[in-house]
Amino acid sequence: MVFVAVHTGAGFYQSGKRKKFLEVCSQACETAIKGWKNNSTAIDGVVEAIAYLEDQMITNAGFGSNLNSAGYVECDASLMDGRDLLFGSVGAVQSIQNPIKVARLILDNQRLKPPLGLIAPNFLAGEGAKKFAVSHGLEDYELISGKSLNIFNKYKRQLEECETASIDDKHKKYDTVGAVCIDDNGCLACGVSSGGLILKKEGRIGQASILGSGCWSEGNVAVTTSGIGEYLIRTSFARKTVENLNGKNDDTQNIVEKLVQVFNDNFFESPLMKNVPREDHLAGILGLSTDTDNIEMFWGHSTKSMCIGYMDSTFTSGKSFISDLDCSVKPGISLIETVALPRLAGFGCEGCGFHPMK
* Angle (CA) 203 66 231, round 5°: 60
CB count in 10 Å sphere of residue 264 = 14
Q: What is the pLDDT of residue 171?
A: 43
Q: What is the pLDDT of residue 167?
A: 53
Asked whether 22 and 309 are in contact (CB, 8 A), the reply is: yes
- At 12, phi and psi to the nearest 5? -135, 130
Q: What is the pLDDT of residue 53?
A: 98
Q: What is the pLDDT of residue 216?
A: 99
The CATH number covering residue 322 comes to: 3.60.20.30
- Taking the C-alpha atoms of residue 157 and residue 119, their distance in angstroms, rounded to an integer, is 45
In sequence order, what DSSP letters do the residues of 91-143 get, joined into one string? Answer: EEE-SBS-HHHHHHHHHHHTTS--GGG----SEEEHHHHHHHHHHTTPPB---
Residue from 176, 235, 241, 290 carrying the catalytic annotation: 176
The question of whether 338 is a catalytic residue gets the answer: no
- Please list the pLDDT of the chain residue by residue as tens digits (358 residues): 899 999 999 998 989 999 999 999 999 999 999 999 989 999 999 999 999 999 999 999 999 899 999 899 999 999 999 999 999 999 999 999 999 999 999 999 999 988 999 999 999 999 999 999 999 999 888 788 778 777 877 777 776 766 554 555 544 545 589 999 999 999 999 999 999 988 999 999 999 999 999 999 999 999 999 999 999 999 999 999 999 999 765 667 788 889 989 999 999 999 999 999 999 999 999 999 998 678 899 999 999 999 999 999 999 999 999 999 887 777 877 677 655 554 422 223 332 232 333 2
Q: What is the pLDDT of residue 266?
A: 95
* Angle (CA) 135 31 169, round 5°: 90
Residue type, 339: V
- At 93, phi and psi to the nearest 5? -90, 140
**What's the structural domain count of the chain?**
1
Q: What is the pLDDT of residue 170?
A: 47
Asked whether 323 and 306 are in contact (CB, 8 A), the reply is: yes
Q: What is the pLDDT of residue 23?
A: 98
Q: What is the pLDDT of residue 349?
A: 31
Q: What is the pLDDT of residue 21?
A: 96
Q: How would you classify residue 196: left for phi > 0, otherwise alpha for psi between -120 and 50, otherwise beta?
A: left
CB count in 10 Å sphere of residue 256 = 18
Nearest to 124 by CA among 140, 141, 97, 101: 101
What residues make up the domain containing 209?
3-355
* Angle (CA) 17 33 101, round 5°: 80
pTM, two decimal places: 0.89
β strands within the chain, DSSP E: 3-11, 75-81, 87-93, 123-125, 177-182, 188-194, 215-218, 221-227, 283-290, 295-301, 305-312, 319-324, 335-340, 353-355
For residue 326, give the 3-state DSSP assignment.
coil
